[in-house]
Copies of this chain bind each other. A is one copy, B any other.
Amino acid sequence: MCTQYTERGMAARNAQIRIDLSASEPAYRQVATQLRTLIVEGSLRPGDLLPPVRRLALDLAVHFNTVAEAYRMLAEEGWLDVGHGRNARVIERATPKPTAAAWEAHRRKLRQVLAEMKASGVAASRIRQEFQTLIEAMKS
């Protein structure tokens, strides 16, 4: 299940969401994580409209509560304005100060992802290259 957006205001580049039903991460969190990534990378920008809940749910072949929950989660985090009967809109969000606990959790996650890449045979040079590309994309 995979969908690509061409909504007004959404940059075409990489604005793609995939749901992996075999993953242990619940579908609503997969949706939220991927939308958050698109916002952080700038593929979705403040002012951009997200697709209506029902349409995105249809595109991804998931229950509409799954998408509604993802939008709620992102609204709570300050990424979206979700009005009654209106579409969800990406809003400006002040950069928070990372807590020590959050930093530690992120560090551990990054460490594990890198170890998994290495374990599956990806060369350190390729990991470095990919990291550069990804971090550059998030620069602004």
Contacts and interface: CB of A to CB of B under 8 A. Distances in A.
A29 B112 CA distance: 12
User: How many copies of the shown chain assemble into the complex?
Assistant: 2
A24 to B, nearest CB: 5
Ranked nearest first, the 4 interchain pairs of A and B with the lowest CB-CB distance are A37-B115, A40-B115, A98-B121, A96-B121
Contacts of A69: none
B34 A24 contact: no
Interface stretch (A45-53, A59-67, A84-92, A129-137): A129-137
B118 A138 contact: yes
Contact residue range for chain A? Answer: 35 or more
Is the contact region of chain A dominated by helix, strand, or loop, or is it mixed? helix
Nearest to A38: B115
Interface of A: 18, 24-26, 29, 33-34, 36-37, 39-41, 77, 95-99, 102-103, 106-122, 124, 127-128, 130-131, 134-135, 138-139
A110 B134 contact: yes
